[in-house]
Each structure stands twice: as C-alpha cells, then as structure tokens.
Amino acid sequence: MKPVKVGLLGLGTVGTGVVRIVEGHQEELQRQVGTPIVIERILVNNKEKRRNITIDPEKLTENVEDILNDASIDIIIEVMGGIEPVKDYIMEALAKGKHVVTANKDLMALHGTEVLEQAAKHGCDVLYEASVAGGIPIIRTLTEGFSADRITKIMGIVNGTTNYILTKMSQEGAVYDDVLKEAQALGYAEADPTSDVEGLDAARKMTILGRLGFGVNVELADVAVKGISKVTKEDIAYGKKLGYEMKLLGIAECEEDGIDLSVQPVMVKTSHPLASVNGVYNAVYVYGQAVGETMFYGPGAGELPTATSIVADLVSVVKDLRLGVNGKYMVAPYKEKKLRSDAEAASKYFILLDVADKAGVLARITQSFAKHEVSLESVLQHPNPLNLNAEIIIITHSANRAGMKNVLADFAELDVVNKIRSVYRVEG
C-alpha cells in the first residue's frame, strides 16, 4: 500500500504530540484508513535543538519550501501558530493541491473565509478541529452532529487560563493578581497574559464557532469582548451567596432578529452544568431546536488532547483521499449577517451598587429601573463592615441591553449612588 505522506510545520508541544500519536498508533490508524500514514518532513527553527522525542534528523528542515515543493507530500499539518508567515504557507500549500490540517485559531478566526475559499478553488480539504477547545470535538459536532438541526445558542468556557483563575478565586477566596502569578508560574498563563485574561483568545474561538454554528460570516469585530482583569473576589463571593459561579463565557445567539456574540464574565447559576466546570477544563453548551440542550466537556489544551484532535482531522482527510472526495463537502457561510441591536439583545443582569445609607435610596433606584422598563427579580441590601455606606445587590429579569445602558447612565447621575461596583450578565 502506498503511504500517505505528511509535512508537519512546527515541532513544539503540540507538534511533538502529533508525532507521538502518528508513529505510536500506526496499527490503529491503518485499520481506519487502509494505508500507512508517514510524517515525511518537519519544519523547525533549529535542527540542532535537543528534543524530548527521537526524530530522524533527515526529516527535519529549516526551509519550508522543502515541504511545500515536495510533490510526494499530500497533507500539511500546521501547528506553528500566529498569522504571518503561516497564512502564506497555507495558501501556497492549497494552491499546490495539498490538504491542510491546522490548530491555528488566530488564522481561522481572522482569515478563515479566505482560507476556505482557496481550499474550495483547488479542491482541497482544510480541517481545524484543534483550533477550538483542544481535545473536545466541537467543530465536527457542529458541522456533522447538528447538520439536521438549527442551532440557536452556543455558550462555553473556551479558555482554560481564565477558568483556572476564576476557579481558584472562587474556591480559595484569592485575589486576581495573586492567582494570575500562580497561573504564570505553572505555565497556564503566558508572561504577557493579555490575550487570555482580556478575552481575546476566547473571542477568536467564538468567531469560529459562530461562523460554523449559524452559517454566517462572523468576524472577530462582531464579538463584544470583556475580560476578567476587573473581577474581584468580592464579586465572586456575593455571587456564591446568591447561588452563582463566575465564569468567562463565550456566548453566540441566533434568533430571527439576528445574531449576538460576546465574551464576558458571567454569573452562572450553580445548577447549570457550566458552573461546575473547573480548573483548566473547557466546556461548550449547544442549544438545538430539535435536540434541545447538549454539553461537550474535556481538556481545552495540552500536548496530547490537542494532538488527538489534529490526528482525527488527519484521518478524515486521508479517508477523503481514499474516496476521492476532498474539497467536496466544505460548507461556506451562506446566510446574510444581521447583528442584533441593543434594543433586541436581552439577558438577565447582576448589579452591585455602593449607595448612601439613608432613607429613600432604594425607591429612587427602583424608579430608574421602572422608567426604562427593566423589571427586577431580587433586590438585597447586604451589610459590609468594611464599607460605611450601603451595598445593594440587584438581579434583574431579562432586559434588553439598551434599557440596561439607560439605567446605568441614570445611576451615574444619581447623588445617592456612590459607585456602580459591578455589572455582570446572568445565565442559568
């Protein structure tokens, strides 16, 4: 049997995992695809670097053209990350008729439509399961498992770093800065954690999920983003007392009036399955009109979980090769994009106010809610010995975003409101 040859771009943590699985699981892979799969060449920065895996040095190259110009290589696996020069490599590979498997969320979020158009033009597959939620097969689930259903909402924990930080803050009462330093020491957070903690990493993933789930050409700019750097241990403590856990959620909703996408810290009811997803784990909750509510849970990163998703995509490409159907079933965005306005997008809210401790304050606050047609689920005044003023916690019923913005604008002008301490969306 003629082997299928693969070019691997990158030999970091995930690339090493790919080599381990492909070389260590040859019997299982051949049973699935009916032919050997061989990693023919590997692009590295430094061929002389010591590695924790044994590689034939003849397979290593520092010149990407050795791989792109090798006519015997059928498939490119890209695990380098970043946009440039990776985008150029992938576009050239597709132009030469090579199929692509990538874990690159940045590339697929920002240039996914362009890459897929190039693939369709040249009859190639582009699969990118590992770009979202590591070892969770969520992309395949959306494109295949829900192909007969209409997805109305995708909501998930898609960044392990922020989930680790919020879990530690919740379980240990720790402050954000201390937990961030610990996460950096453990390797869960980068030296510059901005992409994770400010929600940018999650926003890229939600761009991909929204595009696939709704058949709309969602762009990164369509996702409203708020990170966790301003979340306090007091916010989390108050939430817990009211039966909520704080999670950074990516939320994509699709109704008749349009779509709405966001990444933000959310108070999640403890009875909701996402509330119990802790540590560096990821989970994605999908609502389908026919199937109802489903959840997919697992490790969101790491050498072998991510590599497992990549090799699963590799198997799919090889099966297509054997059947001669590469590039035949790729579904491009086909619906017109319509974003919900502030008047159309609605949710429940948690609000923490620092107010003057005197008679009539609550009446003036509730008048503002009534004025803007925002109804209240609960209002609590909580004693705080560290605060000489009063603290009021409000949970609203579902309210549109425009109404809430008007309420908060009123609060900023009220002399009895000293400070709007926190505002969070509520789910569950």
Q: Are residues 96 and 12 in the same domain?
A: yes
Distance CA 59, CA 41 (A): 5
Domain count for the chain, please give it.
3
Residue 228: strand, helix, or coil: coil
Q: Are residues 115 and 167 in the same domain?
A: no
Task: Pull the structure tokens for residue 363.
Answer: 């009446």
pLDDT given at position 295: 95
Distance CA 55, CA 33 (A): 24
- Please, which residues have CB within 8 angstroms of residue 312's CB and are 6 or more apart in sequence? 129, 137, 140
Specify whether the CB–CB gap between 376 and 395 falls below 8 A. Answer: yes
Distance CA 249, CA 198 (A): 12
Distance CA 53, CA 55 (A): 6
Identify the CATH number of the domain in which residue 234 sits: 3.30.360.10
339 domain-assigned: no
Q: Count the helices and strands in the chain (H runs, E runs).
A: 14, 17
pLDDT 10s digits, 221-265: 999 999 999 999 999 999 999 999 999 999 999 998 899 999 999
Q: Are residues 231 and 114 in the same domain?
A: no
Identify the CATH number of the domain in which residue 359 sits: 3.30.70.260
292 domain-assigned: yes
338 domain-assigned: no
Give the chain's residues under pLDDT 50. none
Q: Are residues 263 and 392 in the same domain?
A: no
Q: Are strands 37-43 and 223-225 parallel, antiparallel or unpaired?
A: unpaired
Q: Are residues 268 and 195 in the same domain?
A: yes
Q: Are residues 104 and 146 in the same domain?
A: no
Distance CA 366, CA 1 (A): 75
pLDDT 10s digits, 396-411: 999 999 999 999 999 9
pLDDT given at position 52: 87
Q: Are residues 147 and 236 in the same domain?
A: yes
3-state helix, strand, coil in the chain (%, to 5): 40, 25, 35
pLDDT given at position 187: 87
Give the domain extent around 29: 4-134+303-323
Question: What pTM was computed for the model?
Answer: 0.92
Cα-based distances in Å from 84 to 78, 90, 91, 310, 389: 12, 10, 11, 21, 53
Distance CA 365, CA 381 (A): 12
pLDDT given at position 380: 87
Q: Are residues 150 and 258 in the same domain?
A: yes
Q: Are strands 346-355 and 281-288 parallel, antiparallel or unpaired?
A: unpaired
DSSP 82: S
Residues annotated catalytic, as ranges: 205
Distance CA 184, CA 245 (A): 23
Q: Are residues 146 and 189 in the same domain?
A: yes
